[in-house]
Structure 1
């Protein structure tokens, strides 16, 4: 007997328990990660906010800060503040708490559907997703086999990822590489028909590869890492309805990296070329500390 599919596990992860008025609890899987994946916290927080708003008002934007690393395996409580319920817009503020400490906060705005004029910049011309290798297959082809942690991740991964350009594995291959990346994604399996689930699933996925664009000029995306990275903040604007279990193209670029921080922005298009979501994120990039660094006088742990 087979277990739940990756998509079913993602839907379960986003299905929060309502424990009191405006208070929800989300599960955090036991993972071999040092901290809870940021996209999970953002997706669950948006579920909590959306549960207090009617279906006639879909989310149009969110702005969030990652304040502390979450601990895998420990439930997260989401406290929702109903900031405003206007005629056209609804605003919610969500605080994520784990073990009595705030780890994340999010403000989301919801907007009634209204007609209006339209324009957008065109989607870049890229190969179709079916012509590209799956990420796990590309890594396995290079390494000969998947390392155990990556094999475990590939089995549980809720999204099929296919990079538009081949992966680079050595520093010499990075010479002259621009801080840009693009990847096709879709959930592995059906996510059902709840539009809020699709929105929150894409919010989850939006944190998976966005900082790739910052890293590309300095280190390979897969392999030995020279930097400790962490998401600092995250912003999204939702332009059109979509399904996260259908192919979408995530185009990413980094306009600047300085002061141990890198800024990345992304545009997400559906298969027909419609711009559905815009994303911005800043990430922390600190060189790995050696044992000698830790022992040096005057070193701070912050």
Structure 2
């Protein structure tokens, strides 16, 4: 297991301070606020630790309420909404400095047989044929106005091997493309068999690239090149079939709409052998900076 992955797993191993109250810390982020995927994954960990082990997460719905402070701990308060014969529901509020920054509802289910069908996996190049972040980013360092961006991107992806099927928007700013993006990802090392861990790591990664397809449609590069201010607003995931986050997963993403300073991203996550594992939907803030308005993520007050 790589050292960055071990660090990420420690980040997800929340401290239990009361029966239904947990505390977590943050790691370095690309922007001066807590990474949304981190707080979503930690909230799902908190919910899962109050649920019987035989019940597995099948969906989550979340709102990002305030930018998180990466220098302060986050308290996760779990509300045991319902424990039924087959389903368990939990509500989690993430709190910093006395205010809620994130809200999550998650549902868990005991496995049962049922009807079975899925959309087929779309064509995609083999992940081994694609460049790693370490191969792709340094040779394009001159595209970024801030010389620290490459190092920050590499640090953010150090625990996860994430490979773009085509150049990401921050390398093709000014070129309008179809609002669709594909990445392969897996953790940089093997994981335990705990299904909750794999679901939480997929939740963590799901917030990394989902809004890329919005930027591609408009030839925007995003925060990395300073032509868009963005932030996650809400996020939903449905976990259809078992999967492992330490094996290659295809994240097929597209955007059906952008308007009103917001953009919608939809996605499906497939296992390498073609099983549809997860569906994802997210709406994000996507603002084009106006004259006199800073493009820095730190300036976003929503």
Please say whether Structure 1 and Structure 2 have the same fold, judged by a TM-score greater than 0.5: yes
* Partner Cα separation in structure 2 for residue 167 and residue 4 of structure 1: 25
238-247 or 219-228, larger mean C-alpha shift: 219-228
Who is 2:8 aligned against? 10
Superimposed CA distance per residue, residues 50-97 of structure 1 (whole angstroms, 9 cap, x where no aligned partner): 000011100100000000000012110000000000001100000000
Return the match for 2:32 from 6, 31, 34: 34
Equivalent residue pairs, number: 291
Q: Is the contact between residue 262 and residue 283 of structure 2 (CA under 8 Å) also seen in structure 1?
A: yes
* Partner Cα separation in structure 2 for residue 213 and residue 81 of structure 1: 35
- Alpha-carbon shift at residue 152 of structure 1 (Å): 4.4
Who is 2:165 aligned against? 164
Q: TM-score, normalised by structure 2?
A: 0.90
1:1-302 superposed matches below 5 A: 5-31=3-29, 33-143=31-141, 147-155=147-155, 157-167=158-168, 169-174=171-176, 177-218=177-218, 219-220=220-221, 223-291=224-292
- Alpha-carbon shift at residue 287 of structure 1 (Å): 1.7
Q: Is the contact between residue 123 and residue 273 of structure 1 (CA under 8 Å) also seen in structure 2?
A: yes
Q: Give SS of 1:208's match.
A: helix
- Alpha-carbon shift at residue 136 of structure 1 (Å): 3.3
Cα 1:31–1:132 change in 2 (3 A) is closer
Q: Is the contact between residue 237 and residue 278 of structure 2 (CA under 8 Å) also seen in structure 1?
A: yes
32-41 or 229-238, larger mean C-alpha shift: 32-41
Who is 1:298 aligned against? none
Whose radius of gyration is greater, 1 or 2?
Answer: 1
190-199 or 215-224, larger mean C-alpha shift: 215-224
- Alpha-carbon shift at residue 11 of structure 1 (Å): 0.7
* Partner Cα separation in structure 2 for residue 121 and residue 32 of structure 1: 34
* Partner Cα separation in structure 2 for residue 172 and residue 31 of structure 1: 26
Q: Give SS of 1:249's match.
A: strand
Unaligned residue ranges in structure 2 (runs of 5+): 295-300
Q: Is the contact between residue 62 and residue 106 of structure 1 (CA under 8 Å) also seen in structure 2?
A: yes
* Partner Cα separation in structure 1 for residue 239 and residue 44 of structure 2: 13
- Alpha-carbon shift at residue 104 of structure 1 (Å): 0.3
Superimposed CA distance per residue, residues 177-227 of structure 1 (whole angstroms, 9 cap, x where no aligned partner): 111101001111122222211110110000000000111122136851311
Unaligned residue ranges in structure 1 (runs of 5+): 295-300
Q: Give SS of 2:210's match.
A: coil
